[in-house]
Structure 1
């Protein structure tokens, strides 16, 4: 579920892949640099199998460069735990910097209408799949930022170094619309990583994956498989919410956790637990989403947090004082900070209380400087929690900005998410992946 933002925060993340033999949005970087695949061994005993290394960049989303097809073509894809189907742009447009050309690949195979794959149900398909004029499976995908893509389902080999995943189902998209066409044209597509049967992680049959995003420098890790590192503190696990009955507004293949409360500097907001629970329609689930930058709360929780944060920052921060300014359409708590000020004042910590675990957000991660926005001699900083009601999204979303310097493990086998605070730049260095 990708939400766009017009800011570049350059972060190069390295990825360690453990391959399991399988059965076998849209955000982008403002100045993309397609780096070649590299192989680098991690010290013996660190992981179960020798990994390969890819390059990551990130602004409002995480993107990975890898090769697809035979012979291989370099592509750049957004990593999105909120989406299922992986897809690539397959038709060059005047502004497109990166596309996949299926005509050049001998391993490309379109999915026919009569294939069972074409009948697979996924919430990613906002419009039911259909047959095109060539009797091929046609699909349309829509995202929360009003962007959409459409094209044909197909199978292809996705390669990392000398290893490959043959026969992986993806979307070969040849048209669509974007909320930010200039930037979205610079990525080739998206890797869907939720729990749906067509997601990348499901098709490669990996029981778990984890990532660690640095908020300071150009280092980080994405790992498929078991994270057995002596320096990694024990993870706190929160179970995934399981609802077997189909509900219209509940995404059953998302990484849904149970938010039970919110604290500001240790003070728990006076909200009933029912505020954080899905209602009879399924609206109100809490999703961990790497395809969304910031964190969004439903109205009652957001307003309570906003009021308490305002109260605890009186005298520390100067409110913007412009009721008409709402950053990204959902973030209406903004402040003026003197341009000459090097650091922000000490801010109250905001803690998301999950079932069995907590996620604390502090310091600079609480405020985001709006690029290019200056009021007299002040820059404009906005609170990094937004109002889901203003977005028209009936859910709580925990974005990757608040996952920085957290080891995030997605355990599909045991239906849980594990987390622990860690310096992700140091973790990357310990694994020999620092830049």
Structure 2
């Protein structure tokens, strides 16, 4: 998700589901290797997804920088997962998932840029209360999760390894609460807070299909009204804990603000459209490398971008601007939880100079949307301005590109103003390139974990 900075700990650099057949997921906390798809049959589930509009004042603080955990995962009877989910898109993709026993439906932001998944919890319901419970196999719907209604819920004690301070890949501040349970508190620079207990809980898809209890955050206080489904490369992320070897999503083209949100899809497991995908390799980093690179997020989906093209002009940006340097600055990552795309200064300045050359006189002077986007225009001229700017392309290895048509290069923001959905990452206090979900519209994005690659394929996501 866009970027939040913790005031309590070092910042972790940046940053589903449905028709039934039978198989169960099984995973324990002690493994980090994705399961090969040939080891077991796949399954498919389906759930409705919702949009999550983001208030303007939170524009800079959408990203969950919740950190990674230490416990390694090991599977005893892990399954390959093939799960399809529709989701509606506004600024962040949100999926409704059935959690607990019996299941309670919880809204979670699909975020490839964070690790720890967490849900909204409350402690107001009395044990044995029927409020929020569901009939067997049928999830209830509630804004918050009530632990007292789930027989599979448990809380991590202070003695758990994740609750020990300064664990190498888990920088989330934890402490013992008065009940000797593992408590985390995470404050953000915008004044919002997520805190609660680390817990174990199942994702219960049907009577016969469920994960074992996974480690999650159970937030009793939070500045957001949705949870987060952490999908990065970390050992505590959902793919690792649930042994999901592949997942992919398709963000539909954004509708006008007054129109209904279209619905896209997200698969866990094999995607039937993958034969049309083009693949680029992921750049991975060993523990020794990442420790020497303070500006790097080693758990992000990092790719080697080669350049940027506007219209027919390839901008004079050296490829080194898109690769991590000795300190980790310049890393390029794909992030479903960030809306806009962010570029390091060297790249952003060239993009802005080209936009100014093409349409500078029509730019809104002195206007900066959300404190980060300053290439903005009045809505009355948006279509003509898009035609003048032309198509936008992000170039990768082997000729693979993400091409954004000229009709879609501008994002509608406050009051009908339209902006280039590109901002300078240094305005966030970051030193990375982040390809956000605005530039992933009508595009299949697949994360193939065993083969360490990302697949890209054009699509009409509202029909996929």
1:104 to 139, 144, 149: 149
Alignment pair present for 1:423 and 2:427: no
Report the equivalent of 2:97: 66
Task: Describe how 1:371-382 pairs up with structure 2 within 5 A.
Answer: 371=414, 373=415, 379-382=416-419
Alignment pair present for 1:194 and 2:232: yes
Alignment pair present for 1:140 and 2:185: yes
Distance 1:252 1:202, change over 3 A: same
Report deviation, 1:417: 0.9
Task: Describe how 1:5-20 pairs up with structure 2 within 5 A.
Answer: none
Task: Indicate conservation of the 8 Å contact 1:88/1:99, yes or no.
Answer: yes
Task: Indicate conservation of the 8 Å contact 1:291/1:400, yes or no.
Answer: yes
CA distance in 1, matches of 2:372, 2:54: 23
Distance 1:262 1:306, change over 3 A: same
Q: TM-score, normalised by structure 2?
A: 0.73
Task: Indicate conservation of the 8 Å contact 1:212/1:404, yes or no.
Answer: yes
Task: Indicate conservation of the 8 Å contact 2:99/2:204, yes or no.
Answer: yes
1:384 to 404, 421, 428: 421
Report the equivalent of 1:410: 447
2:109 to 61, 66, 78: 78
Report the equivalent of 1:367: 410
CA distance in 1, matches of 2:300, 2:273: 27
Q: Deviations over 1:393-431 (max 9, x none)?
A: 2211111111111110101111111112222223x2xxx
The 3-state SS of whatever aligns with 1:91 is coil
Alignment pair present for 1:282 and 2:328: yes
Report deviation, 1:365: 2.6
CA distance in 2, matches of 1:215, 1:425: 8
Task: Describe how 1:156-167 pairs up with structure 2 within 5 A.
Answer: 156-162=201-207, 163-167=209-213
Task: Indicate conservation of the 8 Å contact 1:258/1:286, yes or no.
Answer: yes
Greater CA drift, 256-265 or 189-198: 256-265
2:218 to 152, 161, 172: 172
Alignment pair present for 1:352 and 2:394: yes
1:218 to 262, 266, 280: 262
CA RMSD for the aligned pairs? 3.1
Task: Indicate conservation of the 8 Å contact 2:375/2:420, yes or no.
Answer: yes
The 3-state SS of whatever aligns with 1:424 is coil
The 3-state SS of whatever aligns with 2:408 is helix
Q: TM-score, normalised by structure 1?
A: 0.78
Report the equivalent of 1:28: 52
Alignment pair present for 1:207 and 2:245: yes
Task: Describe how 1:193-272 pairs up with structure 2 within 5 A.
Answer: 193-215=231-253, 218-229=262-273, 232-244=275-287, 245=289, 246=291, 247-272=293-318
Report deviation, 1:29: 3.9
The 3-state SS of whatever aligns with 1:402 is helix
Q: Deviations over 1:208-237 (max 9, x none)?
A: 11111111562321111122348x524232
Which consecutive unaligned segments of at least 5 residues does structure 2 have? 5-15, 29-50, 56-78, 125-141, 255-260
Report the equivalent of 2:198: 153
Task: Indicate conservation of the 8 Å contact 2:320/2:330, yes or no.
Answer: no
Task: Indicate conservation of the 8 Å contact 1:330/1:391, yes or no.
Answer: yes
CA distance in 1, matches of 2:422, 2:148: 44
CA distance in 1, matches of 2:431, 2:383: 38
Report deviation, 1:170: 0.2
Alignment pair present for 1:318 and 2:358: no
Report deviation, 1:195: 0.8
The 3-state SS of whatever aligns with 2:378 is strand
CA distance in 1, matches of 2:150, 2:343: 44
Report deviation, 1:136: 1.3
CA distance in 1, matches of 2:191, 2:285: 28
Distance 1:146 1:194, change over 3 A: farther
Report the equivalent of 2:438: 401
Which consecutive unaligned segments of at least 5 residues does structure 1 have? 5-12, 32-47, 179-183, 374-378, 429-435
Report deviation, 1:348: 1.2
The 3-state SS of whatever aligns with 2:353 is helix
Task: Indicate conservation of the 8 Å contact 1:407/1:419, yes or no.
Answer: yes
Task: Indicate conservation of the 8 Å contact 1:337/1:380, yes or no.
Answer: yes
Report deviation, 1:156: 0.7
Task: Indicate conservation of the 8 Å contact 1:2/1:80, yes or no.
Answer: no
Distance 1:53 1:303, change over 3 A: closer
Report deviation, 1:310: 2.3
1:116 to 146, 161, 164: 161
Distance 1:359 1:123, change over 3 A: farther
| Aligned length, in residue pairs | 378
Report deviation, 1:98: 1.2
